[in-house]
Structures are given as C-alpha cells and as structure tokens.
Amino acid sequence: MTADAGQFRRLWLARAIFVFAVSISAGFVWNEFLIAWRGGIIVPDLPVFWTAARHALASPEVLYDPARMTALQAPFLGPDPLPRPFAYPPTSLLLFGPFGMLPYRAAAIAWVLLSCGLFFAAARRLVPARHVVAAFFTPPLVACLLSLQVSLLLGAGMMFGVSLLDRRPGIAGAVIGLVALVKPPVVLLFPIAAIAMRSPRALGGFCLAGVVGCLASLFLGIELWFHWLASLGEFQRIVAQLGLMRRSVTPTGIGFYFGLSKDATAVLQVAGIILGGVTCWRAFRGDDAIIRLIGLAAGSLLCAPYAMYHELSVLVPALLMIGASQRRYAPLTALPVIGVFGMFTLPLTSILALVDRRTGPG
C-alpha cells in the first residue's frame, strides 16, 4: 500500500468516526430535550447563582448555608428538594452579581445568549466555525445548556486567554485569572503553564487579576471568605450523599464509579495529578494553541477531585477539529465526544496531547 493510499484510509476513518460521533451526539441531544420537556431530572443551576447574587448584599450570611440556600430556591424546585448549595468563592459574585439584578427569566435569557455568544466567539479564534457549530450538538454542551451551567462562560475565558498568549501574554494571563476568580480548579495549572512558557508577563497578569478580584470581593466583608472555606467540607459531604462522585469525570470519579477502595482511589487521584501536570507542562513547552488549551483544561481537571460532565465543554471544539483532521491519532479524539466515554475523556485527551502535539489540518 502506498503512502498516499494509507493517508487516504486514515482520513476516511477519521471522517467516518467524526460523523458517527456527531450522529450519536445528536441522538443524545434530542433525548435530553425530551427528558427536560417531560419534566425529568434536569434541574438548572442558574437559580443557585441567581439566588446567591440576589442575597449577596442584603444577607450574605445565607450564601454558604446549604439549608437556607435550598429554601430560598423553593420557587424553582419541586417538593422535598435535594440540597442546592452555593460552593463558589466570593469572587464569583463579580460575575453572578449583574444577573441577580434582573428578574429570573430575563437573567436566564441573558445567561444563555451571553454564554453561547462568548463561547462561539472564543472558540472561533482557535478552530473553524463548522466545528464550533457542531460542538453545540454534542453531549457536554447540551448538558451545560440544559442545566444553565457556567462552563460555557469559563470555557470562553480560557479559549480567549489561550488565543492571546503569544501576542498579549499579560492580557491573556489576566483573562485566565478572571476564570480562576469564578472556579479555581478549571485553571489550576496555569502557573505551571506560564512557567513552562517562560512568560513572566502571563503569570503576572494572572496573579494581578486574582489580587484585584479578591480585593474587590471584600466589599461583601472578609468574613464571607471564612464562611466559604468552612462550607467546603459540607459541600463535599453533600456531593457524596447525592452520589455525584460516581458521575464525576475526574480520576477520583472513576474510582467511585467502579467501587474501588479508598487507597486505590487515592492512587488514581495521584496518577491524575501527575498526568495532568506532565500534560500541561509538555503542552506549553510547544506553541500549538489547541494543544495548550487541552493541556490547561484537561490537565487542570485531572488534578481536581470533582468535576461534572458539562465541564468538558471547553475541550469539544478542539476535539472535533482534531477528529476531522488527517493527524495519525485523529480518530481517537472523536471517542470522548460520543458521550459514552465521559469519565475517560480527560486521560484519553491528555494522552493524545502527549503523543501527537501537532494538530494542523494536514
């Protein structure tokens, strides 16, 4: 078989798997819409953010009290609701605050439009538009939209930041720092990334955004930070009580899903931290923006003890682009997009970034 014939077969296989992945994902999309339409188990998370924002000034002491926060969300919940805690740091209210000034329906519409618009604009800086459009029909993004989660906004910030790293490293670091103010675990490894790039300006921008954001949050009172820190243990207990760890896409979640012992799960967690750190370092030693995004997003989540499926959204446009390319390992990238490989997405994607760091179209 000639080299051209081999390349053609690899391209055909990559495109076939890509189409199959998108087709399966489309079926998942319609199934989830039907579940939501019939009043299924999908409960939006925006009421948590909106309620926290509404009470941040008048009664900040309720924010990190799970029972009181759940009671305040009663209009959005059915009888005997499950706990609905607010686990984000006080700096996240800089993002959620403006939505709390609107009536809930207006806030929800603004949330969806802003999330989709910024995610599309940011992803378009890294991948072709057709892959961004296809991404909105994949399980992670559908799960994110149906649950009105914050992952699209955070993913937009990460993609904007990564796209600016070479030309405006200080601004890029600051943008990624803004993401950290809302949800620190999703960009946990950015300091390692900046060091790997040898970019003190990126690291400086990241730290500056963090300092300014923390200072700005003090207008709510420094005691709110102590309430947040004290609430983290209770949040972990609620996550365990609800069985959410079995649905986590992190290595720790894999251990819970298969019922492994605490020691075996701890080994998986340590392995995830090592794989995440190595992936991030290797990705940012190169200059490919797509691989950098994978290194930052997948690497950081591999280090996290808990992350839900919708948090994979930031990876999807990049995976679709690679999956439709002629790269040797391209077909592998479509597998996590199908949805049935959710908990293995992070290790699979990290390994891809390690073995094939070039993602051009040919």
Give tens-digit pLDDT for 270-301. 999 999 999 999 999 988 899 999 999 999 99
Question: Using one digit for the tens of pLDDT, what is the confidence trace for 143-168?
Answer: 888 889 999 999 999 999 999 999 99
Q: Note every long-range contact of 71-75, with CB atoms under 8 Å and residues 24 or more positions apart, other chains counting.
A: 73/47, 73/48
Residue 15 or residue 172, greater confidence = 172
> What is the pLDDT, as a whole number, of residue 126?
94
Confidence (pLDDT) at 23: 62
Q: Are 216 and 94 in contact, with CB atoms under 8 Å apart?
A: yes
Higher per-residue pLDDT: 41 or 153? 153
User: Is pLDDT above 50 for 359?
Assistant: no
pLDDT at 58 over 70: yes
Tell me the C-alpha distance between 142 and 42, whole Å. Answer: 11
Q: What is the pLDDT of residue 362?
A: 38
Largest Cα–Cα distance in the chain?
Answer: 73
pLDDT of 80:
74
Cα 344 from Cα 356, distance rounded (Å) = 18
Q: State the helix-helix crossing angle for 316-323 and 289-303, rounded to 10 degrees.
A: 130
Q: What pTM was computed for the model?
A: 0.87
The whole-angstrom distance between residue 283's C-alpha and the CA centroid of its chain comes to 18
* Most confident of the ranges 16-25, 84-93, 323-332: 84-93
Residue 338 has pLDDT above 60, yes or no: no
Give the side-chain half-sphere CA count within 13 A for 361: 4
Which of 189-203, 220-234, 248-262 reaches the highest mean pLDDT?
189-203
Output the pLDDT for position 129: 92
Each domain of the chain, given as residue ranges in start order, spans 10-355
Strand, coil or helix: what is 265? helix
- Give residues with Cβ within 8 angstroms of 58, minimum separation 6: none
In the predicted structure, residue 54 carries a pLDDT above the cut 90:
yes
Q: How far is CA 355 from CA 10, 13, 115, 190, in A?
A: 17, 19, 32, 21
Confidence of residue 217 (pLDDT cuts 50, 70, 90): very high
Which of 195, 184, 223 has the alpha carbon at shortest distance from 301? 184
Whether the per-residue pLDDT at 181 is higher than 60: the answer is yes
Angle (deg, nearest 10), helices 345-355 and 262-285: 40
So what's the pLDDT on residue 360?
41
- Whole-angstrom Cα Rg for the chain: 20
- Distance in angstroms (rounded) separating the CA atoms of residues 295 and 277: 9
Contacts of 45 (CB under 8 A, 6+ apart): 147, 148, 149, 150
The pLDDT score that the predictor gives to residue 140 is: 84
CA–CA separation, 95 vs 157, rounded Å?
Answer: 12
pLDDT in tens, 68-95: 999 999 888 877 778 899 999 999 999 9
H-assigned helices in the chain: 3-37, 46-55, 66-72, 93-100, 104-124, 129-135, 139-146, 151-164, 169-182, 190-197, 200-217, 223-241, 251-257, 262-285, 289-303, 316-323, 330-338, 345-355
Structure tokens at 92: 């996240």
pLDDT confidence band for 308 (50 / 70 / 90): confident
